[in-house]
Protein backbone atom coordinates (compact mmCIF):
# COMPACT_ATOMS: atom_id res chain seq x y z
CA UNK A 1 0.00 0.00 0.00
CA UNK A 2 1.06 3.56 -0.68
CA UNK A 3 -0.02 5.77 2.21
CA UNK A 4 0.32 9.55 2.17
CA UNK A 5 0.26 11.82 5.22
CA UNK A 6 -0.26 15.57 4.89
CA UNK A 7 1.53 17.35 7.74
CA UNK A 8 1.93 21.00 8.62
CA UNK A 9 4.01 23.08 10.98
CA UNK A 10 2.45 25.42 13.52
CA UNK A 11 3.39 27.59 16.45
CA UNK A 12 4.33 25.86 19.68
CA UNK A 13 1.23 25.38 21.83
CA UNK A 14 3.10 26.98 24.75
CA UNK A 15 4.28 30.01 22.76
CA UNK A 16 3.22 33.46 23.89
CA UNK A 17 1.24 34.95 21.02
CA UNK A 18 1.99 38.54 19.99
CA UNK A 19 0.13 40.51 17.34
CA UNK A 20 2.28 42.00 14.59
CA UNK A 21 2.50 45.76 14.03
CA UNK A 22 0.07 45.47 11.09
CA UNK A 23 -2.59 44.10 13.47
CA UNK A 24 -3.74 41.37 11.08
CA UNK A 25 -1.21 38.60 11.75
CA UNK A 26 0.83 36.96 14.48
CA UNK A 27 4.38 38.14 15.14
CA UNK A 28 6.45 35.00 14.47
CA UNK A 29 9.88 36.47 15.23
CA UNK A 30 11.68 34.16 17.63
CA UNK A 31 8.74 31.75 17.54
CA UNK A 32 9.28 28.06 18.22
CA UNK A 33 7.62 25.78 15.65
CA UNK A 34 6.31 22.22 16.05
CA UNK A 35 4.44 19.61 14.05
CA UNK A 36 0.73 20.34 14.17
CA UNK A 37 -0.39 18.09 17.10
CA UNK A 38 -3.28 16.50 15.19
CA UNK A 39 -0.90 15.56 12.36
CA UNK A 40 1.07 13.42 14.82
CA UNK A 41 -1.98 11.15 15.12
CA UNK A 42 -2.20 10.98 11.32
CA UNK A 43 1.47 9.97 11.03
CA UNK A 44 1.05 7.32 13.73
CA UNK A 45 -2.05 5.86 12.05
CA UNK A 46 -0.24 5.71 8.71
CA UNK A 47 2.73 3.89 10.25
CA UNK A 48 0.47 1.40 12.05
CA UNK A 49 -1.35 0.76 8.76
CA UNK A 50 1.97 0.11 7.01
CA UNK A 51 3.00 -2.29 9.78
CA UNK A 52 -0.23 -4.28 9.30
CA UNK A 53 -0.48 -4.28 5.51
CA UNK A 54 3.00 -3.43 4.24
CA UNK A 55 3.85 -0.71 1.76
CA UNK A 56 5.30 2.77 2.23
CA UNK A 57 4.42 6.00 4.02
CA UNK A 58 5.10 9.28 2.21
CA UNK A 59 4.96 12.64 4.02
CA UNK A 60 3.65 15.63 2.06
CA UNK A 61 4.09 19.12 3.46
CA UNK A 62 3.95 22.70 2.23
CA UNK A 63 5.71 25.70 3.73
CA UNK A 64 8.97 27.63 4.09
CA UNK A 65 12.40 26.07 4.65
CA UNK A 66 11.86 25.63 8.40
CA UNK A 67 9.19 22.97 7.70
CA UNK A 68 12.00 20.48 6.96
CA UNK A 69 12.44 20.05 10.73
CA UNK A 70 8.84 18.86 11.04
CA UNK A 71 9.19 16.58 8.02
CA UNK A 72 12.31 14.99 9.54
CA UNK A 73 10.35 14.34 12.73
CA UNK A 74 7.72 12.40 10.75
CA UNK A 75 10.47 10.46 8.97
CA UNK A 76 12.09 9.68 12.32
CA UNK A 77 8.77 8.29 13.57
CA UNK A 78 8.82 5.74 10.74
CA UNK A 79 7.72 7.33 7.46
CA UNK A 80 9.76 6.30 4.41
CA UNK A 81 10.10 9.44 2.28
CA UNK A 82 8.75 12.96 1.93
CA UNK A 83 7.77 15.71 -0.49
CA UNK A 84 8.33 19.32 0.58
CA UNK A 85 6.61 22.03 -1.45
CA UNK A 86 8.63 25.05 -0.40
CA UNK A 87 8.81 28.82 -0.72
CA UNK A 88 9.11 31.62 1.84
CA UNK A 89 5.88 33.19 0.58
CA UNK A 90 3.83 30.21 1.77
CA UNK A 91 3.35 31.67 5.26
CA UNK A 92 0.20 33.52 4.14
CA UNK A 93 -1.44 30.91 1.88
CA UNK A 94 -5.10 30.14 2.59
CA UNK A 95 -6.58 26.64 2.77
CA UNK A 96 -8.04 26.83 -0.76
CA UNK A 97 -4.63 27.36 -2.39
CA UNK A 98 -2.88 24.92 -0.03
CA UNK A 99 -5.32 22.14 -0.95
CA UNK A 100 -5.00 22.81 -4.69
CA UNK A 101 -1.20 22.81 -4.62
CA UNK A 102 -0.89 19.68 -2.45
CA UNK A 103 -3.55 17.79 -4.44
CA UNK A 104 -1.76 18.64 -7.68
CA UNK A 105 1.54 17.35 -6.33
CA UNK A 106 -0.16 14.16 -5.10
CA UNK A 107 -1.48 13.56 -8.61
CA UNK A 108 2.05 13.86 -9.97
CA UNK A 109 3.39 11.36 -7.42
CA UNK A 110 1.39 8.47 -8.89
CA UNK A 111 -1.23 6.08 -7.54
CA UNK A 112 -1.93 5.84 -3.82
CA UNK A 113 -4.29 3.97 -1.49
CA UNK A 114 -4.82 6.17 1.56
CA UNK A 115 -4.29 9.73 2.72
CA UNK A 116 -4.24 10.66 6.41
CA UNK A 117 -4.39 14.22 7.74
CA UNK A 118 -4.96 15.79 11.13
CA UNK A 119 -8.55 16.89 11.70
CA UNK A 120 -7.45 20.55 11.80
CA UNK A 121 -4.47 22.87 12.17
CA UNK A 122 -4.41 24.50 15.59
CA UNK A 123 -3.32 27.96 14.41
CA UNK A 124 -6.50 28.93 12.52
CA UNK A 125 -8.69 25.94 13.51
CA UNK A 126 -10.20 25.77 10.02
CA UNK A 127 -10.18 22.00 9.47
CA UNK A 128 -10.60 22.57 5.73
CA UNK A 129 -7.37 21.48 4.04
CA UNK A 130 -7.91 17.72 4.29
CA UNK A 131 -11.42 17.62 2.89
CA UNK A 132 -10.54 20.15 0.18
CA UNK A 133 -7.63 17.94 -0.93
CA UNK A 134 -10.04 15.01 -1.22
CA UNK A 135 -12.42 17.09 -3.31
CA UNK A 136 -9.59 18.21 -5.59
CA UNK A 137 -8.55 14.58 -6.07
CA UNK A 138 -12.13 13.39 -6.55
CA UNK A 139 -11.90 10.76 -3.80
CA UNK A 140 -14.17 10.09 -0.79
CA UNK A 141 -13.21 11.32 2.66
CA UNK A 142 -14.22 10.47 6.23
CA UNK A 143 -13.68 13.17 8.87
CA UNK A 144 -12.96 12.82 12.59
CA UNK A 145 -12.33 9.07 12.49
CA UNK A 146 -11.82 7.74 16.01
CA UNK A 147 -10.89 4.22 14.82
CA UNK A 148 -9.99 2.54 11.55
CA UNK A 149 -11.86 -0.74 12.05
CA UNK A 150 -10.62 -2.51 8.93
CA UNK A 151 -8.64 -1.90 5.78
CA UNK A 152 -8.97 -4.48 3.01
CA UNK A 153 -6.47 -3.74 0.23
CA UNK A 154 -7.76 -6.63 -1.89
CA UNK A 155 -11.39 -5.48 -1.75
CA UNK A 156 -10.25 -1.84 -2.00
CA UNK A 157 -12.26 -0.68 1.00
CA UNK A 158 -11.85 0.77 4.49
CA UNK A 159 -14.26 0.61 7.43
CA UNK A 160 -14.03 3.57 9.84
CA UNK A 161 -15.72 4.51 13.10
CA UNK A 162 -16.43 8.13 14.01
CA UNK A 163 -17.99 9.54 17.13
CA UNK A 164 -21.35 11.31 16.99
CA UNK A 165 -23.65 12.71 19.69
CA UNK A 166 -24.82 9.84 21.84
CA UNK A 167 -22.89 7.10 20.06
CA UNK A 168 -20.77 6.35 17.03
CA UNK A 169 -21.18 5.86 13.29
CA UNK A 170 -19.53 3.15 11.15
CA UNK A 171 -18.68 4.20 7.61
CA UNK A 172 -17.48 1.96 4.78
CA UNK A 173 -15.61 3.74 2.02
CA UNK A 174 -13.82 2.72 -1.17
CA UNK A 175 -10.08 3.16 -1.61
CA UNK A 176 -8.38 5.45 -2.33
CA UNK A 177 -9.82 7.73 0.33
CA UNK A 178 -8.79 10.45 2.76
CA UNK A 179 -9.21 10.17 6.53
CA UNK A 180 -8.87 13.03 9.04
CA UNK A 181 -7.61 12.09 12.49
CA UNK A 182 -8.64 13.51 15.90
CA UNK A 183 -6.66 13.17 19.12
CA UNK A 184 -8.62 10.15 20.37
CA UNK A 185 -7.43 7.94 17.51
CA UNK A 186 -4.14 6.55 18.85
CA UNK A 187 -1.04 7.32 20.89
CA UNK A 188 1.73 8.78 18.70
CA UNK A 189 5.13 7.17 19.19
CA UNK A 190 8.28 9.09 20.07
CA UNK A 191 11.05 9.22 17.51
CA UNK A 192 13.88 6.92 18.65
CA UNK A 193 17.55 7.84 18.33
CA UNK A 194 18.08 5.27 15.54
CA UNK A 195 14.96 6.66 13.84
CA UNK A 196 16.34 10.20 14.03
CA UNK A 197 19.64 9.09 12.50
CA UNK A 198 17.90 7.17 9.70
CA UNK A 199 15.62 10.15 8.96
CA UNK A 200 18.63 12.18 7.81
CA UNK A 201 19.24 9.72 4.96
CA UNK A 202 15.63 9.16 3.85
CA UNK A 203 14.53 10.65 0.50
CA UNK A 204 13.16 14.19 0.71
CA UNK A 205 12.03 15.74 -2.56
CA UNK A 206 11.85 19.53 -2.74
CA UNK A 207 9.33 21.16 -5.08
CA UNK A 208 9.75 24.86 -5.83
CA UNK A 209 7.13 27.38 -6.97
CA UNK A 210 8.51 27.25 -10.52
CA UNK A 211 7.76 23.52 -10.63
CA UNK A 212 4.12 23.79 -9.57
CA UNK A 213 2.48 24.73 -12.87
CA UNK A 214 0.10 27.16 -11.19
CA UNK A 215 -1.88 28.02 -14.32
CA UNK A 216 -2.76 24.35 -14.79
CA UNK A 217 -4.56 24.31 -11.45
CA UNK A 218 -6.19 27.73 -11.76
CA UNK A 219 -3.83 29.66 -9.48
CA UNK A 220 -1.47 32.60 -9.88
CA UNK A 221 1.64 33.65 -7.96
CA UNK A 222 -0.57 36.05 -5.97
CA UNK A 223 -2.69 33.09 -4.84
CA UNK A 224 0.24 31.87 -2.74
CA UNK A 225 0.45 35.02 -0.65
CA UNK A 226 -1.68 37.40 1.36
CA UNK A 227 -2.73 39.47 -1.67
CA UNK A 228 -4.45 36.57 -3.41
CA UNK A 229 -5.90 34.74 -0.41
CA UNK A 230 -9.62 34.06 -0.54
CA UNK A 231 -9.81 34.15 3.24
CA UNK A 232 -8.38 37.33 4.70
CA UNK A 233 -7.67 38.20 8.32
CA UNK A 234 -8.84 41.73 9.04
CA UNK A 235 -7.73 42.05 12.65
CA UNK A 236 -6.31 39.95 15.47
CA UNK A 237 -6.76 40.81 19.12
CA UNK A 238 -5.36 39.02 22.13
CA UNK A 239 -8.14 38.77 24.75
CA UNK A 240 -7.52 40.67 27.94
CA UNK A 241 -7.94 38.52 31.02
CA UNK A 242 -9.23 40.30 34.08
CA UNK A 243 -8.95 38.45 37.35
CA UNK A 244 -11.06 39.46 40.33
CA UNK A 245 -11.24 37.94 43.76
CA UNK A 246 -14.26 38.32 45.97
CA UNK A 247 -14.46 36.61 49.35
CA UNK A 248 -17.84 35.76 50.84
CA UNK A 249 -17.40 35.82 54.59
CA UNK A 250 -19.34 33.85 57.13
CA UNK A 251 -18.80 33.94 60.87
CA UNK A 252 -15.28 33.83 62.25
CA UNK A 253 -16.11 30.66 64.17
CA UNK A 254 -14.58 27.32 63.02
CA UNK A 255 -18.07 25.99 62.15
CA UNK A 256 -20.36 28.45 60.38
CA UNK A 257 -23.94 28.18 61.53
CA UNK A 258 -26.68 26.97 59.15
CA UNK A 259 -28.22 30.42 58.63
CA UNK A 260 -24.85 31.90 57.77
CA UNK A 261 -24.15 29.06 55.28
CA UNK A 262 -27.50 29.66 53.58
CA UNK A 263 -26.86 33.41 53.34
CA UNK A 264 -23.36 32.86 51.95
CA UNK A 265 -24.70 30.38 49.37
CA UNK A 266 -27.35 32.85 48.21
CA UNK A 267 -24.69 35.54 47.80
CA UNK A 268 -22.48 33.13 45.83
CA UNK A 269 -25.30 32.16 43.44
CA UNK A 270 -26.18 35.84 42.94
CA UNK A 271 -22.59 36.70 42.03
CA UNK A 272 -22.26 33.73 39.66
CA UNK A 273 -25.48 34.73 37.90
CA UNK A 274 -25.20 38.53 37.77
CA UNK A 275 -21.46 39.21 37.67
CA UNK A 276 -19.69 36.10 36.41
CA UNK A 277 -22.71 35.17 34.22
CA UNK A 278 -21.87 31.48 34.31
CA UNK A 279 -25.29 30.27 35.46
pLDDT per residue as tens digits for the range 183-193 = 889 999 999 99
Q: Give Cα 115 to chain centroid, integer Å.
A: 14
Distance, in Å, from the CA atom of 160 to the CA atom of 157, rounded to the nearest integer, reads 10
Amino acid 196: pLDDT: 94
Residue range 2-228 forms a domain whose CATH class is alpha beta
Distance, in Å, from the CA atom of 142 to the CA atom of 262, rounded to the nearest integer, reads 53
254 — pLDDT class (breaks 50, 70, 90): low
Amino acid 257: pLDDT: 55
Using an 8 Å Cβ cutoff, are 121 and 98 in contact?
Answer: no
Mean pLDDT (the chain) is: 89
> Residue 7's closest CA among 87, 112, 115, 108?
115
* pLDDT tens digits along 74-130: 999 999 999 999 987 777 788 999 999 999 999 998 999 999 999 998 887 788 999
Backbone angles phi, psi at 204, to 5 degrees: -135, 110
The mean per-residue pLDDT over the stretch 253-265 comes to: 67
Q: Where are the domains of the chain?
A: 2-228, 242-279
Amino acid sequence: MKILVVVSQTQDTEAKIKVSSSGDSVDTSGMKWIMNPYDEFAVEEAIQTKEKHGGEVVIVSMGPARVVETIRQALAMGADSAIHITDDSFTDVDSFAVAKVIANEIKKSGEFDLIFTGMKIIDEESGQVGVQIAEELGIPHVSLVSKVVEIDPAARKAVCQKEIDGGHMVVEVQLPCLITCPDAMNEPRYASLPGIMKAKKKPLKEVMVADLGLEEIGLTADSLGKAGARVKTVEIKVPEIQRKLKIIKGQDEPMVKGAEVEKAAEELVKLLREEAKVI
